[in-house]
C-alpha cells in the first residue's frame, strides 16, 4: 500500500477502500498475477504537490482458495 498516495482517488475510492479490496482479494485468492499497460501518464502541480494521473488497462488473475 506504500505505492498508493495518501490522496489516492479512483472514482471516489480512497486509499482505505483500495486496502479493503486488496485484503478481500488475498482472503479469497492465491497465486495472483497481473498485467497492466500504461497508456498515458500526465503530471500536474508544483514540485511540493506533484500529481500524476495514470491511464491504464490490464488484468488480474488468481486461483480461488475454495477450489
* Helices within 1-67 (DSSP H only): 15-28
pLDDT at 7: 86
Enumerate the domain spans of the chain: 15-64
Contacts of 35 (CB under 8 A, 6+ apart): 58, 59
**Residue pLDDT tens, the chain, 67 long:** 888 888 888 889 999 999 999 999 999 999 999 999 999 999 999 888 888 889 999 999 999 999 6
pLDDT at 4: 86
- Any idea which residue has 497508456 for its cell? 39
pTM of the model: 0.71
Signed CA dihedral, 6, 3, 18, 42: sign only: positive
Amino acid at each position: 500500500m506504500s505505492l498508493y498516495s495518501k490522496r489516492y482517488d479512483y472514482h471516489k475510492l480512497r486509499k482505505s477502500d483500495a486496502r479493503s479490496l486488496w485484503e478481500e482479494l488475498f482472503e479469497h485468492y492465491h497465486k495472483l498475477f497481473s498485467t497492466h499497460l500504461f497508456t498515458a501518464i500526465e503530471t500536474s502541480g508544483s514540485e511540493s504537490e506533484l500529481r500524476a494521473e495514470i491511464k491504464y488497462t490490464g488484468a488480474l488473475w488468481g486461483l480461488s482458495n475454495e477450489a
